[in-house]
Structure 1
Amino acid sequence: MAPQSSTGAGAEAELPEYAGHYRLETTLGSGGMGVVHLARSTSGMKLAVKVVHAQFARDPEFRGRFRQEVAAARKVSGAFTASVVDADSEAERPWMATLFIPGPTLSDHVKRSGAMSPAEVRRLMAGLAEALRDIHRVGVVHRDLKPSNVLLAEDGPKVIDFGISRPKDSELRTETGKLIGTPPFMAPEQFRRPREVGPAADVFALGSVMVHAATGRGPFDSDSPYVVAYQVVHDEPDLTGVPESLAPLVARCLAKEPEDRPTPDELMRELRSVAASYDTQVFIPAQRTGDAPEPEPRVTEPERRSRKRLGTRLLVGTGLLGLATVAALAAVHLLGGDDPSPVSGGGPRTTAAGFSPWETTSAPEKGTPQCSYGAGRLVCAQTGRVFALDPSDGRRLWRHTVATAQGGRPVVSGGLVQPALDRSTRLEALDPGSGRTRWRQSVPSYSGLAHAGAMLLVTGVDGAVTGVDSASGRTKWSHRIPGHRAPYFASFAADPWAYGISTSDDGSSTRVTAVAPETGRVRWDVQLKGTLQPVGAVDGSVFFVLVDPVYGSAEAVVRYTPDDGASRRVVLPVPIGQPQATVRGDLVYLMGDGGSLVAVDMKAREQKWNLETAVTRGSAPVADGRYVYFSAPDGRLLGVDAREGRLLGQTSARLGSNADRVADAVPAPVLARDRLYATAPDGTVFSVRAGDPATW
């Protein structure tokens, strides 16, 4: 393959054209271990691809280090790091691809714009404390935190380059006499006893980084690394120029003994009380001085919540919004309804030959529409409104304003449209034909509700569950579910039961109770091991994903069959971060936040295939037996062969003017008969024929 020219001197001025499937475009930087390139995936997503130097690729020890770097980067991939998209540590030139994050390094920013203001320093310190908390909680010690390894992105600082990081329990030891790290930002123990370096070394480095951000120099400064090493071990740090409100906290970070330094959690608590003027906004780099070009804008992936919080419970097809609180339901008012706004328009009409693809655009400023199919309508929601489209041609049929909607997917239950309301004080049901309000009911404040068949299930703060008839709004039953303090509910299409779920405080077990939605009658009840998220029900069996109770990553798929009480588990070879899943027959398809799409055969009890899609934070998958479909944050709809795990086709991206904003979650496509309906950040709702992704 012909090499691609790039800038730079030396043997690697001629660069490879591809790393795996990714075309390398330009050089972003070079370090001791490899060269980082700006690259593009097949879909056009911008990536930063690190390709190791040729001489190191021939070194088995180095390959071991690189494999460990990839593993560490995958473990910490999240809101405070560059998410890993793909990697191949066994390639002729090992490489790793991460999301490209626009913005300068802290080192470049200080060189070009000078020291940061006190407010910027506080925000940076808070962001890096959060980053270290995430890194340490997955058992990784970075060991080389320094200004050039901190990217100043618009949504906060990102820590990069885990080339010399180590798990806290790693058996890979530092060679005698070899320093690993960058002396001005190394902790005393890295010089004195490098084999005993732990998380506290990163806190020391954070202190040094903060001095650099505030003053443009380090707390131990010399042209000689040997003098710096002596100063780090024996001398007190120079904190001249560090903001007075932060200097004591920075000094604690730079304590000589690891046990005297604060933990990242302690740092975060201290920073909240440092000053009343503490600014929690994200750091946005100031305009650079001189002629240095601004970083090119890039589509950013949805920012993830801290991985320590158990991920949003992934209840495909449930309409669940969380725990609810309704102790007593007020009177029901049957209404003629508000006067909705019938609107015409849409894309191509159905031709005489049958269905034709169409698209129609709603208001992009209100976010990505979320849609579902029911009562012969495609009903969609955006912030503050619900609307219906003709599924055959995309014509807008009606629009209804809601006072408080969080943009969740509306549900057709009991023959009526149930808007996805947030924690408001009313429930509401709309006529699917006209959009007029059929009933409205005042309720005490609640945090969510679940839809199951023709019922709404609302859980009160006292633990009582109330069943409300979706068609009339009348209460049909209200009582506690035995064994549950305050359950949340999951339900699935073509399955008659609602499943009440409660997880033990320590995450060691999950109680599952099958309830008849119309009466609240308990059919069966079981206590299963681990933290389980229900993802589907087929032929009398319920399927779950077993997740880590701290980090929310999927570790196994579980099938429980109540008829015989059997619980079967298939352990995943590699955990999947923040999983979303769907079930089709004996197959469970999981989409991870890093782009892994996995098929697990519960009958054969094995992982069938694993596809690295390069789509970070994709939607929940849907499947029809032959294909698996999912949406990307840029509005693409992708189709994968369900038997072999091959990507077969995708639609074009639809970002519009929202290239710098991505929704918190990507709505899953809707599969109805032989058609797929999907949505995009530019407000588009579009439809394509299911069954042949290669023609999209």
Structure 2
Amino acid sequence: MSLRGGDPEEIGGYPLEARLGSGGMGTVFLGRSASGRPVAIKLIHQQFADDDEFRIRFRQEVAAARRVSGAFTAAVIDADPEAAHPWMATTFIEGPTLAQRIAEQGPIGGAELRRLAIGLTEALRDIHRAGVVHRDLKPSNVVLSPEGPRVIDFGISRAADQQTLTMTGRVIGTPPFMSPEQLQAPRGVGPRSDVFSLGTLLVYAATGQGPFDADSPYMTAYQVVHEAPSLGAVPDALRRVVEPCLAKDPDERPSADDLLVRLRDLPTDLGGVSAVGADARCTRETDTQHHLVTDDTPVPAPLASPAADEASEHAPRRPRRRLRSVLAAVVAVAVIGGGAALMRTGDSGADEGGRTVAAANKAPLPEGFRPWRESVAGGRADIPDELRCVARGDALFCGGGGVVATRIRAADGSRVWTEKSPGVPAQGVHLVGVSGDTVLGYRIGTEEQPDSSATEVVALDADKGRELWSAPSGAQSTSVTGRTRDAVVLGSTVVTVDAANSRFEARQARSGRVLWRTPFPAGSKCAPVPAGKRLYAMCAPASEVASTEVRHPVLREAGLASGRLGEAVAVKGPAVPAGTADGGLVLLRERREGPALLGYDGVARVDPASREVSYARLPRTFDGTAGMAGGTLYLTAPTGLVTALDPVTGKKKWSRQTAVEGASGPAPDGAGTLYFSSASGRVAALAARTGKPLFTTDPRADGLAGEVNAAPRVTVMGRVVVVAAARNTVFAFDATKPPRTG
């Protein structure tokens, strides 16, 4: 809605364009940052500005929102809780609220409901991990963005380790979505109170009604405290997961982490809702909301696949037609998420999926192969992590977490040898690589000092696992390239960053003999970047690396024989390397607001011959994990949406919604199939050319979505698909006979 008379023209230097909504505590406006990015600005009502108790509460809201800014919330860009008229600016999230979605279209079902449940639980998990209790989780505080649900408004949240602030004479919250303890003893609420609210929210999403709805707020509050929830219209599979969340006793409810594991085991299609639920409609809430405001894009389909109607992405707004495409997309997602039964083999009229499988059939299985699942114990059994694996012949070498490296037989999963790492695993530090008969991994800490963060690169004999040599390694590449990769293997050469983060060192992989040492350019910090058979040094000013905001990176080709660094090629930053296309290094350009990474909005390609850099914009800003295969760039969103892009032009090739949230990939099989997998071990196989779904498997490990920009978890060995999952789990199956869902 447009600005009203008396509304300010700007807040904190942000010009205002529209009023998004108003509630009891403040008004939210649409503003613009200096870069032109839309921001949501919450301005506290003037009558509260002089209320000391309220100012304390608003400071808590700002602090809480800053602590939980992440993939599932709105990141705080700026704030001034001490201003005469306090305000806070966050990233603007496009999309309707859950309250609006239910009011306008009715209850949610099937695959869309499953994705909503998982997305909200992931959000709650991140909020609680940041030490914050939200305390007001309700439909108007959930925005359905194209990338998944986002939780907003931390107005009555608190740090879990602080005393609750309860405004004098008021019970703060929304009764249909409050926990019993929040109504009875609000100062004692903890994270399990949010789990109760999440349970009520999921019932509301599935049926259009809350589990304790009554004719008045007073009767609703009474039923929350004393009565059993009404769950008759909730799909059976979801009801079994939600019911424990609604226990009256907080100790009997699952944590967000536990709940997420249970939700990931749900079938892709939860089924429809009953006639009672389908006819239910809710009224709009009057609390502060983020509404959909776009310049030239249509109303996004909440949690639906854009692949269903690609042509509509740049079409004029036509809500009724768009609604039909949304429904079609939801049906399509429910069908494609069904699992391995969709894969066809032995059909003379097979489509691309059939030909891909036929090609895989020609690869022989290792003698005596059977599907297997193993857990590799590391040096710190109390801190399990994820491994990464490399195949050589019929041997599989894996490392990461508390494991320097291990050799596994592909046929049955039995281990030949294991070298453990005594220290605390570092996120993203996995196997370095394999060179001939030598395996290279990272070792963190020592037997004498297991809590040390010192890192070494260790060379092991591939046959026996005995240590050949080790060398101290730096640990700064993440700040430079956005990837944890301080050592790389190219042929028979291993290039590392020294422990002082001051130079590159190259060694012969087998013997450890030093081939050359090259200091970093003055005032710079660098990291190695492999690009096919070439090696680049990606460098940035030391001051930018120290502040973790690299905006002026340069690339220099490094001679593998001499270590000599070539002429610097400046790249418009911030940007991170993604892979190679047509022999050139491809980088993704990051979109940031201060330190917050909002996603990727462009690509850059460095031509190795001319040393020129070409740039192209992406269709929109993509968040999630990037990877390349076969000269195509793939971006996987936290919700499981996979998008294939041309790395030179930035144009989209296809998009496909999968059931694999937080996936890493792609892992190609060389026959036209790509594999994407999450930390839970759920695998989706897609046809590389079209994105056609071939199969999806169930989770195989007690894991969560995993970190953003995780390295691919799948290793393909002919017909054998090997998957690394959480808690050092590794399993394998025949690509032509994948584990069926259900």
Give TM-score scaled by structure 1 length: 0.52
1:386-535 pair list within 5 angstroms:
386-404=405-423, 406=425, 408-415=429-436, 416-422=438-444, 423-424=453-454, 426-441=456-471, 443=472, 449-453=486-490, 454-459=493-498, 461=500, 463-482=502-521, 485-492=524-531, 494-502=532-540, 505=544, 507-535=550-578
- The aligned residue for residue 45 of structure 1 is none
What's the C-alpha RMSD, in Å, of the aligned pairs?
5.0
Q: Once the two structures are superposed, what CA deviation does each residue of 1:461-491 show, in whole Å capped at 9, x if it has no partner?
A: 4632222322212222122244761101121
Q: Distance in 1 between matches of 2:248 and 2:76?
A: 36
Deviates more, 1:626-635 or 1:353-362: 353-362
Q: 1:573 maps to which residue?
A: 619
1:130 matched to 2:67? yes
| CA offset digits 1:434-460 (Å, max 9, x no partner) | 11112234x487667311312222145
Q: What amino acid maps onto 1:542 in structure 2?
A: L
Report what 2:692 is aligned to: 646
Partner residue, 1:593: 638
Secondary structure (helix, strand or coil) at the match of 1:487 reads: strand
- How far did residue 565 of structure 1 move? 4.1
| Match of residue 610 from structure 1 | 655
Q: Does 1:294 align with 2:294?
A: no
Q: Deviations over 1:381-411 (max 9, x none)?
A: 2543331012344231112233337273223
1:613 alignment partner AA: T
Question: What does residue range 150-549 of structure 1 map to in structure 2 within 5 Å?
Answer: 155=129, 156-158=132-134, 160=137, 163=140, 205-206=155-156, 218-219=167-168, 221=170, 294-295=253-254, 297-299=258-260, 356-363=369-376, 366-374=384-392, 377-381=395-399, 383-385=401-403, 386-404=405-423, 406=425, 408-415=429-436, 416-422=438-444, 423-424=453-454, 426-441=456-471, 443=472, 449-453=486-490, 454-459=493-498, 461=500, 463-482=502-521, 485-492=524-531, 494-502=532-540, 505=544, 507-549=550-592
8 Å CA contact retained: 1:429, 1:439:
yes
Matched pairs, number: 432
Residue matched to 1:558: 604
Q: Is the 8 A contact 1:463 1:484 kept in 2?
A: no
Q: Which residue of structure 2 lines up, in the alignment, with residue 277 of structure 1?
A: none
1:126/1:431 CA distance change after superposition, 3 Å: same
Q: Which amino acid aligns with 1:380?
A: C
Contact 2:618 2:650 in 1 (8 A): no
Residue 533 of structure 1: how far off its partner (Å): 0.9
Distance 1:222 1:413 in 2: 61
Hey, what's the Cα distance between the residues in 2 that align with 1:352 and 1:482?
A: 50
Distance 1:637 1:559 in 2: 30
On the 8 A contact 1:375/1:412 being kept in 2, the answer is: no
Shifted more, 550-559 versus 369-378: the winner is 369-378
Residue 570 of structure 1: CA displacement?
3.4
| CA separation of 1:640 and 1:570: change in aligned 2, threshold 3 A | farther
In structure 1, what residue type is equivalent to 2:420?
T
Cα drift, residue 692 of structure 1: 8.3
Q: Is the 8 A contact 1:378 1:391 kept in 2?
A: yes
- TM-score, normalized by length of structure 2? 0.49
Instruction: Tell me, in whole angstroms, the C-alpha distance in 2 between the residues paired with 1:417 and 1:291.
Output: 49
CA 1:628/1:141 → structure 2, altered by over 3 Å: closer, same or farther?
closer
Question: Kindly tell me: are residues 514 and 355 of structure 1, through their superposed partners in 2, closer, same or farther at Cα, counting changes over 3 Å?
Answer: farther
Q: CA distance change for structure 1 residues 457 and 363 in 2, over 3 Å: closer, same or farther?
A: closer
Shift in Å at residue 419 of structure 1?
1.6
Q: Matched residues in 2 for 1:367 and 1:289: separation?
A: 34
Q: How has the CA–CA distance of structure 1 residues 370 and 124 changed in structure 2, closer, same or farther, with 3 Å as cutoff?
A: farther
Give 2:461's aligned amino acid: D
The aligned amino acid for 1:628 is L
Larger deviation, residues 509-518 vs 479-488? 479-488
Give the partner amino acid of 1:636: R
Name which of 705, 715, 723 aligns with 1:670: 715
Alpha-carbon shift at residue 691 of structure 1 (Å): 7.5
2-structure distance, mates of 1:136, 1:502? 26
Q: In 2, are the aligned partners of 1:374 and 1:412 still within 8 Å (CA)?
A: no
SS of 1:299 mapped into structure 2:
helix
Letter aligned with residue 496 of structure 1: R
TM-superposed CA distance for 1:164, in Å, is 7.5
Measured in 1, the distance between the counterparts of 2:69 and 2:460 equals 48
Identity %, equivalent residues = 19
Contact 1:449 1:457 in 2 (8 A): yes
Partner of 1:626: 672
Equivalent-residue separation in structure 2 for 1:596 and 1:412 (angstroms): 29
CA 371–356 in structure 1, closer or farther in 2 if over 3 Å, else same: same
Residue type of the alignment partner of 2:462 = P
Output aligned runs, 1:8-157, within 5 Å: 127-128=64-65, 130-131=67-68, 135-137=75-77, 138-140=90-92, 155=129, 156-157=132-133
| Deviation of 1:673 (Å) | 4.3
- Whichever structure has more helix as a proportion of its residues is 2
Q: Measured at CA, do residues 419 and 536 of structure 1 come closer, stay the same or move farther in structure 2, by a change above 3 Å?
A: same
Residue 730 of structure 2 is aligned to residue 685 of structure 1: yes
Post-superposition offset of 1:543: 0.9
Unaligned runs of 5+ in 2: 1-17, 23-29, 31-58, 78-89, 98-120, 144-151, 175-185, 189-243, 264-362, 445-452, 477-484
Residues 663 and 678 in structure 2, CA contact (< 8 A), matched pair in contact too: yes
* 8 Å contact from structure 1 (residues 581, 620) kept in 2: yes
Query: Cα 1:399–1:412, aligned 2, differ >3 Å: closer, same or farther?
Result: same
Offset at residue 510 of structure 1 (A): 2.2
What amino acid is aligned across from residue 515 of structure 1 in structure 2?
A: A
Give the partner amino acid of 1:434.
Answer: K
SS at structure 1 position matched to 2:534: coil
In structure 1, what is the equivalent of residue 201 of structure 2? none
Q: Does the 8 Å contact 1:543/1:559 carry over to 2? A: yes
**Counterpart residue number, 1:231:** none
Tell me, in whole angstroms, the C-alpha distance in 1 between the residues paired with 2:397 and 2:387: 10
Q: Distance in 2 between matches of 1:425 and 1:291?
A: 42
Residue by residue over 1:310-338, the C-alpha shift from the partner in whole angstroms, topping out at 9 and shown as x without a partner, is xxxxxxxxxxxxxxxxxxxxxxxxxxxxx
CA–CA separation in structure 2 for the residues paired with 1:451 and 1:686: 26
